[in-house]
Amino acid sequence: MISKIIENKINLDNGLSNRYIDLDPNGYFIIKVDLKEKKIILKHFLNKINNEGYALDPKTNEPIKCDSKEIKVCNETFTGISAKEIGILITENRKDLISRFDHALYLGRELQKAEECLYKKLPYIQD
C-alpha cells in the first residue's frame, strides 16, 4: 500500500515538474550543497522574459539554456546552514529578488530539500 502511495506521489511530482510555468522577471536561483564546507549556497541570476515567456540573458538578449556549459556571473550569493536562514535572508533583506508567489514556494521547497541533503550527506539535485 505504501509503495503505491509513493509511486503516485512520484508520478504526480514528475508531471508537475514538467508543466509550463511563468518565469520570474526578477531572476532565477541556482542551489548547491557544499558537503565539505557544510553549507547551502544560493546564487541569484538576473534575466529578462520575452513575449514568449523565455528567459533571456540581460546582456546578450539570447535565450538562457538550462543545459548550457557557459558560466554565468551571478547577481548575488547567499550561504547558510539551513533553509530557514537562507529564506529569511532573501525574503526579509532582499525583497527585490522574487516577484512571484509560485517562485517563492518553489524556492522554499528546494531549499528544504537542499538542507535535508546537507544533513544526510547526500548529493542534491535541483528540480
Over residues 36-63, mean pLDDT: 93
Quote the pLDDT of residue 45.
Answer: 95
Over residues 86-103, mean pLDDT: 93
Residue 15 lies in a domain: no
Residue 39 lies in a domain: yes
Residue with cell 538550462: 66
Task: Judge whether residue 65 has pLDDT over 90.
Answer: no
Q: Based on the structure, what is the number of domains in the chain?
A: 1
Residue 61 lies in a domain: yes
**How many Cβ atoms are within 10 Å of 31's Cβ, its own excluded?**
21
Quote the pLDDT of residue 70.
Answer: 77
C-alpha cell at 101: 508567489
Q: What is the largest CA-CA distance in the chain?
A: 52
Confidence class for position 42, pLDDT limits 50, 70, 90: very high
Q: List residues bridging with 81 in a β-sheet.
A: none
Over residues 21-27, mean pLDDT: 92
Residue 95 lies in a domain: yes
Confidence class for position 66, pLDDT limits 50, 70, 90: confident
Quote the pLDDT of residue 4.
Answer: 87
Among the residues of the chain, which ranges form H helices? 2-17, 83-92, 101-120
Residue 14 lies in a domain: no
What is the residue range of 32's domain?
Answer: 22-120
Quote the pLDDT of residue 74.
Answer: 92
Residue 3 lies in a domain: no
Quote the pLDDT of residue 114.
Answer: 98
Residue with cell 556549459: 69
Residue 57 lies in a domain: yes
The pTM score is 0.86
